[in-house]
Structure 1
Amino acid sequence: MIVALVILHVVVALFLVGVILVQQGKSADLAAAFGGQGSQTAFGPRGAANLLTRLTTYGAIIFMLTSVGLTILLSRSSDKSVLSGHPTTQSSPKK
């Protein structure tokens, strides 16, 4: 169960990176005014904004839910500390 949730978490994280990088910035229209090609998009001027915004929102919700789910599952499955395998050594204070 944990492995499947980790795989889903990584896939959603990579999906979010891709979707966020594809989106235009809010100042893209200003670049088009000075001769930039920012206004020419594959989805039209506003069609991609709604689709990409929804995909980002759903991806972020899934990312948060998998983060919380992994935290809960990992806290229940391991009762050990990170340092439980290492022997402890105590040194006496020097006087």
Structure 2
Amino acid sequence: MFILLVILHVIVCLFLIGVVLIQQGKSADLAGAFGGQGSQTAFGPRGAANLLTRLTTWSAIIFMLTSIALTVVMSRTSSNRSVLSNLPSQSTPAKK
């Protein structure tokens, strides 16, 4: 199950990066290049969400859920695992 979650998480990460980079930002037209806002309000026009906005929202939700699931799975399976547990312990006292 852990491997399946990691694979799903990586796919969602790559998909989310792609969808966000494809989207057109606010004032991406020619008027926005010169500082003009045109007829936009203070927070931009509020229209119906297009397909890219919905894909971004759902992929962000799936990303958060897989992140939480991976955290829960790792916390339950890794009892007393640490990066430092494999280091040899030093039993010799320091010299004065």
Answer whether TM exceeds 0.5 for this pair: yes
Secondary structure, counterpart of 2:67 in structure 1: helix
Count residues in correspondence. 83
Match of 1:81 in 2: 82
- Partners in 1 of 2:13 and 2:89 — Cα distance? 38
Q: Are the equivalent residues in 1 in contact too, given 2:16–2:59 (CA < 8 A)?
A: yes
Report the CA distance shift for 1:31/1:92 in structure 2 as closer, same or farther (over 3 A). farther
User: In the alignment, residue 2 of structure 1 is paired with which amino acid?
Assistant: F
Q: Percent identity?
A: 65
Secondary structure, counterpart of 1:84 in structure 2: helix
User: In the alignment, residue 92 of structure 1 is paired with which amino acid?
Assistant: P
> TM-score, normalization: structure 1?
0.74
Q: Are the equivalent residues in 1 in contact too, given 2:27–2:33 (CA < 8 A)?
A: no
> TM-score, normalization: structure 2?
0.73
| Runs of 5+ consecutive residues of structure 2 not aligned to the other structure | 35-46
Secondary structure, counterpart of 1:28 in structure 2: coil
Cα RMSD for the two superposed structures: 2.3
Secondary structure, counterpart of 1:16 in structure 2: helix
| Runs of 5+ consecutive residues of structure 1 not aligned to the other structure | 35-45
